[in-house]
Amino acid sequence: GIFIARVSRGRTIREFVVCVLLIPSLIGFIWFSTFGSAGMLLEHDGIASISKLATEESLFGVFANYPMGTVLSILAIILVATFFITSADSGTYVLGMMTTDGSQNPSNSVKVIWGVLLTAIALVLLYSGGLQALQNTMIIAALPFSIVMILMTISLLKALNKEAKEFGIGKLKKQK
């Protein structure tokens, strides 16, 4: 949230909703609909047994049954790597910012330390219990944050209502 707020500074709420919420959600919906449907079709028609593959292999199993499957697999790897790199970068930036008293530009050494710590934690969790342990830890850590998110949503709605009253923006009156 802090990273998105930082890069969204100066944008309108409409621009934020469209560019940060709607467009990525739409692209994700198209991606999962397209390749999920393709996988189900391959499975249904008996062409491939995608459901027998491990979760992380399913997309590549679908690609293997279509022309240019290798090219699509390389593209998928690049997209996943880009996602992880940008997520890690924004995570280390926010952690660095929070641990340097809100500095807008934490030093690279602080960000590197956080990156190493996050990597070490992920590796320990993967080594000790595999992907399931990492997923369980993320769910447990996210539970208290979901309460914070609910409170933040309520606070945002209150602030928007207050601002609407200040600017005289409200529900439109029925026209006769």
DSSP SS3 for 29: helix
CB 115 within 8 A of CB 88: yes
The per-residue pLDDT for 2 is: 82
Give me the pLDDT at residue 171, please: 59
Q: For residue 155, what are its two tokens?
A: 């606070």
Q: How far apart are CA 111 and CA 105, in angstroms?
A: 10
Dist. CA 80–CA 30, nearest whole Å? 16
Concatenating the DSSP letter of every residue in 71-140 gives HHHHHHHHHHHHHHHHHHHHHHHHHHHHHTTT-SS--HHHHHHHHHHHHHHHHHHHHHHHHHHHHHHHHH
Helix (H) or strand (E) holding 4: helix 2-7
Residue 102: the pLDDT is 85
- Please report, in tens digits, the pLDDT of each residue of the chain (176 residues total): 788 888 888 999 899 999 989 999 999 999 999 999 999 999 999 999 999 998 889 999 999 999 999 999 999 999 999 998 999 999 999 999 999 998 888 999 999 999 999 999 888 877 887 778 778 888 998 889 899 999 999 999 999 899 888 888 865 454 54
In whole angstroms, give the CA distance from residue 65 to residue 43: 11
- What 3-state class would DSSP assign to 165? helix
